[in-house]
Structure 1
Amino acid sequence: MGPIRAIRSLGNSFGLAWWARVETTEPNVTYWFGPFLTRRSLKRNLSLFVQDLSTEGAQSISHNLIRGRRSEPLTT
């Protein structure tokens, strides 16, 4: 595990990591995108994730930025 990944994991375990909860209606899925150390870093990378979902045919994509701790499963 690299140092950045270890720091992200530690931040997540303390509930300090930034996550995006991304929801789609077709398919009806909730994705969790993260963890990120900063909100700015999450926002910078989120557009690529949303674009990938759109390319795969997902519709009505919405998201919320959340700071906290997440564990598996990251897709429901």
Structure 2
Amino acid sequence: MKELWTNLLQTVGLAWWVEIFTDNPRCTYYFGPFASASEAEAEKAGYIEDLEQEGAQGIKFAVKRCKPDNLTIYEEIADRPSRGGPAPIFSGQV
């Protein structure tokens, strides 16, 4: 019954997820879905511990309602905005 409720919440975008960001590797991970924020909070320590054991660094987290399209998002170096890159098309125009 609990799984059915969680699936319903997920379908309508009201399920709770643990969102974890790491600096190294530069990733965002989603763990869930959960039927309540307290349930997600209770599980987050295990996910963080697993990532630490895998060598992840700079771990930050949030528990929130969302409906992620991807459970793991890797930020490629090429995807990072470069400093001093090309100016916007309209810059300098009056």
Could you say which TM-score interval applies, normalised by the shorter chain? 0.7 to 0.9
Moved over 2 A (4+): 3-7, 68-71
TM-score by length of 2: 0.70
Matched, 1:74 2:71: yes
Q: Give me the identity figure in percent.
A: 33
Q: Is the 8 A contact 1:12 1:70 kept in 2?
A: no
> SS state of the match for residue 26, structure 1?
coil
Q: Give the unaligned 5+ runs of structure 1.
A: none
- In structure 2, what is the equivalent of residue 24 of structure 1? 22
Q: Give the unaligned 5+ runs of structure 2.
A: 74-94
**Deviation of the 1:15 alpha carbon:** 1.5
TM-score by length of 1: 0.85
Pair member with larger Rg: 2
Report the Cα distance in structure 2 between the residues aligned to 1:68 and 1:12, rounded to whole angstroms.
Answer: 8
